[in-house]
Structure 1
Amino acid sequence: MPDIRAHTSTFYSPADESRAARNAKRGAARRLDRTARLRQAGLHDDAQAFADGHEPKSLRASSERRGQSLRALRRLRLPSHRATSDVLSGAYPFLAEAGLGEEGVFVGQDAWSGGGFCFDPWVLYQRGVLTNPNCVLAGAVGKGKSCLAKSLATRSIAFGRRVYVPGDPKGEWSVVARAVGGASIQLGGGSPNRLNPLDPGPRNPSLPAEQWRTVVATRRRTLLGSLAQSALGRALTAVEHTALDVALDTVVRCDDQPTLPRVVQALFEPAAGQGGASREELVSDGREVAHAVRRLVSGDLAGLFDGPSTVSFEPSLPMVSLDLSQIQGSDQLTAMVMTCTSAWMEAALTNTDGGQRWVIYDEAWRLIRQPALLARMQSEWKLSRGFGIANLLIVHRLSDLDAVGDADSGARALAQGLLADCSTKVIYQQEASETPHAARQLGLSVTEAAQLPELQQGEGLWRVGQRAFVVRHLATDGELDLFDTSARMTSRPNGMPVSSAEVRGNLS
């Protein structure tokens, strides 16, 4: 190995200079250098203070370089780092969504933050979080979406809102309406109640008489056209539109309270030629339309819509529902009935002084499968903000919208537009096969889409504007007893019902 040599020397310092003196000399040199730097930077006051041996009273972010000052000449700069929320939660576990605020209806618990979750479409619209108050609620059968809808409705009443259910095919809302001091109007099944979907409703005092007549005429014409197209399963031709308009105008001129039977009779037997067509041409052009609309005033639906209304709509009640559980028939016929009942109720909701109201379309998959009825619903969606109405559309799955028309048809575009006009989307557990479709429809991120198949009963993914939450709906024992839609499935063999505590245990 080569020799290792150590080179040493002796450190000499003046004998009369102590360590303190040397430190003082080095400090003076640093002050001179610092003073020159400050004067060069234009900080003359600080420079003079350093020259006199005094430190300035106020320190800037880079005014000292001593380690004890806890300040540095340069700001701390770290390279940016990107990671998933799962990784960052381990590095700093105190980051969570702030929520939507404490105003509005308490829904439950935010599963990601553990805090309470409140929702109010009117408050959020005022804040600019939402562009419209409409909502869509989708979820597989038995996952708790009906319980959530009823909880939102009944809790909103405490905030001064009213709730209307234009069509209740299963009769689940009747007991809820009566429990909160509202009313349930039953149709069919031998009930003497009768509705006239052509009722004008209470007049809007802000509109002049001529404008009000135009609004009512347009509403009636739109309703009849939707019913005819739904019954025929196709769009009306130009001559059929003319025949229907002429029949409606004839009935309105002769009677202040037009009814569906009178319109059908005018289609079969027009009084005279009008609208550029002779009487014989009107009979021929409107024959198929007359037979289509006739289904609503004869046969198994006789007595429902074949005369003036025998019940009145009381908008001051906290909740009003129309019970259609006794009406049996095809989905097409049920959809037509729901259209008539919703038109009758909506005619009373056009008053802008009616306050803020929920309009809930339960089992709406029946309606959206009919293109003509879907177009009418979209029109109502567009007008909801002007009337202070928040529409809630309840379906089983978002793929129900794909059952409307062909892929490139106008009907499919209407269905997608209806979903786009809902700023709030609540998705309960979906089947694994439905998850990719729901993710595409709602524009969910990969993390959000992964939550859908794993949601438990009572849990839902809320998309409120551009923000997402996983919320566990919390219901009281009284609500569970009132909202239970599976009493027959959960009752014991001896007929005794299952207690709310056991139901709550199943929900957890």
Structure 2
Amino acid sequence: MTGAAATRFRTRGGRYVAGPRLRLPAHRSSSAVLGGAYPFLATPPCDLGVPVGVEAFTGGLFCFDPWALYGAGELTNPNVLLAGVIGQGKSALAKSLALRSIAAGRAVYVPGDPKGEWAPVARAAGGTVVRLGPGLSTRLNPLDVAPGVDVHATRGRVLAAVAALTLRRELGAAEQGALDAALALTEEHDASPTIGSVVEALGAPDRAAAKADGLRVEDRVADGRDVTHGLRRLVRGDLAGLFDGRSTQNLDPHAPMVVLDLSGLGSDEDALALAMTCSAAWLEGALLATSAKRWVIYDEAWRLLRQVALVRRMQAQWKLSRAHGIANLMVLHRLSDLDAIGRQGSEARALAEGLLADCSTRVIYRQESDQLAGTATALGLTRAERDLLPLLPRGSGLWTMPARTHVVHHLLHPAELAVVDTDAAMREETDLGGGSR
């Protein structure tokens, strides 16, 4: 370089060194203006999937579809966590995302609706609502298993999970053996066994099978006595008539949406957990044989996290999400809901935290100030992301993915409001922002 251009640089030892420091006045501007002037400062647009709303910093359209983003390498798994305090719009987001995904060819399944809020959504989408509760005629057999899987092992896991819930503890080795033997005996006589028939087999085990295991019949009966009492609740206890016989509902695997309405069970947490375990097993058995990509939505998930056996079953489904084309959506109020399942460092807490780790997409609506530290730690948020949470207006959420972060204002179409916004009756004016909870 020669001439006047060379005078702009100084060299030392043949290498260029910095010239005089520039003295420019500070400049401030809005993020929208800076994003246009310096596009490398703005997050790339997320335009794969169904429309969700407007990206707050760029004003552009924000879209989302976990399968498309996974295929593009943006996500490591299709599972989603949605959290936010009551009244900020997370329920409306979940419901509108379900409706819009159905329009795009996806299916939606809600394996447990404790408050009965998803039934109108299913009806609006032309889906199916299965209502469960005392006095109703619907009966589901959780031992109905999809073809192509290990039938005996799958049924055994369902029975063990149900028994663990009723006993409020894990099964011992002897109890597992007694339950497995009872199931095998039942399957010899019936290709479609029920929980009722398994309970009968626990009380009258096969003598030859017990002898082959080096046990007397009396020993096998004793081994399974507590399990018998636990499963009895579904046969002659408060949940009798729901899961103790053959299924009365033939599910259309091509239905765009299926909701299991559990609002008839009231506020009984134990009954809800048992019903969720049984109904989810039945739903899997009825639907896993299909190849359609589908959302599985766990609303009010904070109520489920209190049951270790149910969390373990949810974790297994999370791990298999990619194999079955499933995107799980877990809806919480706040991350401190995890405290309900166990203390820090316990196996139960580790299971719940594993669910969070297996959610590539985290959508966080406004959090109270006392929740910020725990939320940031659990989700690995930056300081800027953490400080934003208590400032988010209603209907706006922080969307974090492995390589991108967006602040999105969810927009509802007026035609959706009556279906997805369960909080509309509490407000005098209707806006197009996020809806209920």
Please confirm whether the aligned pair reaches a TM-score higher than 0.5, indicating the same fold: yes
Where do 1:76-155 residues align within 5 Å?
92=34, 94=36, 95=38, 96-155=41-100
1:166 maps to a residue whose letter is P
CA contact (8 A) 1:65 1:71 kept: no
Aligned residue in 2 for 1:458: 395
State how far apart, in whole Å, the 1-side matches of 2:44 and 2:419 are: 29
Task: Assess, with a 3 A threshold, how the Cα gap between structure 1 residues 70 and 276 changes in structure 2: closer, same or farther.
Answer: farther
State how far apart, in whole Å, the 2-side matches of 1:232 and 1:173 are: 31
Structure 1 portions without partners, runs of 5+: 1-61, 205-211, 491-497
Task: Assess, with a 3 A threshold, how the Cα gap between structure 1 residues 112 and 283 changes in structure 2: closer, same or farther.
Answer: same
Indicate yes or no: 2:346 matched with 1:409.
yes
CA contact (8 A) 1:162 1:318 kept: yes
For 1:313, which of 251, 262, 279 is the aligned residue?
251
1:106 deviation in Å?
A: 0.8
Aligned residue in 1 for 2:376: 439
TM-superposition CA deviations, 1:438-492 (whole Å, max 9, x none): 00001111110001111111111111124221111001111111112235545xx
Task: Assess, with a 3 A threshold, how the Cα gap between structure 1 residues 417 and 65 changes in structure 2: closer, same or farther.
Answer: same
State how far apart, in whole Å, the 1-side matches of 2:219 and 2:371 are: 50
Aligned residue in 2 for 1:59: none
- SS in structure 2 at match of 1:470: strand
Aligned residue in 2 for 1:235: 170
For 1:196, which of 129, 141, 144 is the aligned residue?
141
Indicate yes or no: 2:410 matched with 1:476.
no
Aligned residue in 2 for 1:356: 293
State how far apart, in whole Å, the 1-side matches of 2:328 and 2:46 are: 22
TM-superposition CA deviations, 1:14-50 (whole Å, max 9, x none): xxxxxxxxxxxxxxxxxxxxxxxxxxxxxxxxxxxxx
Structure 2 portions without partners, runs of 5+: none
CA contact (8 A) 2:43 2:406 kept: no
TM-superposition CA deviations, 1:330-377 (whole Å, max 9, x none): 2122111011111111123323x5221111111112222111111111
State how far apart, in whole Å, the 2-side matches of 1:342 and 1:192 are: 19
Where do 1:153-168 residues align within 5 Å?
153-168=98-113
Indicate yes or no: 2:306 matched with 1:369.
yes
1:410 deviation in Å?
A: 1.6
State how far apart, in whole Å, the 1-side matches of 2:196 and 2:324 are: 31
CA contact (8 A) 1:365 1:395 kept: yes
For normalisation by structure 2, the TM-score amounts to: 0.89
CA contact (8 A) 1:332 1:366 kept: no
1:298 deviation in Å?
A: 2.5
State how far apart, in whole Å, the 2-side matches of 1:429 and 1:142 are: 10
Where do 1:376-395 residues align within 5 Å?
376-395=313-332
Aligned residue in 2 for 1:279: 217
Structure 1 moving runs of 4+ over 3 Å: 69-80, 85-96, 98-101, 487-490, 503-507
Indicate the larger mover: 114-123 or 440-449. 114-123
Indicate the larger mover: 96-105 or 217-226. 96-105
State how far apart, in whole Å, the 2-side matches of 1:369 and 1:334 are: 11
TM-superposition CA deviations, 1:206-256 (whole Å, max 9, x none): xxxxxx4xx121211111111111111111111111111111111111111
Give me the identity figure in percent.
50
Indicate yes or no: 2:240 matched with 1:302.
yes
1:70 deviation in Å?
A: 12
Task: Assess, with a 3 A threshold, how the Cα gap between structure 1 residues 308 and 412 changes in structure 2: closer, same or farther.
Answer: same
Aligned residue in 2 for 1:265: 200
Task: Assess, with a 3 A threshold, how the Cα gap between structure 1 residues 506 and 188 changes in structure 2: closer, same or farther.
Answer: closer
- SS in structure 2 at match of 1:358: strand
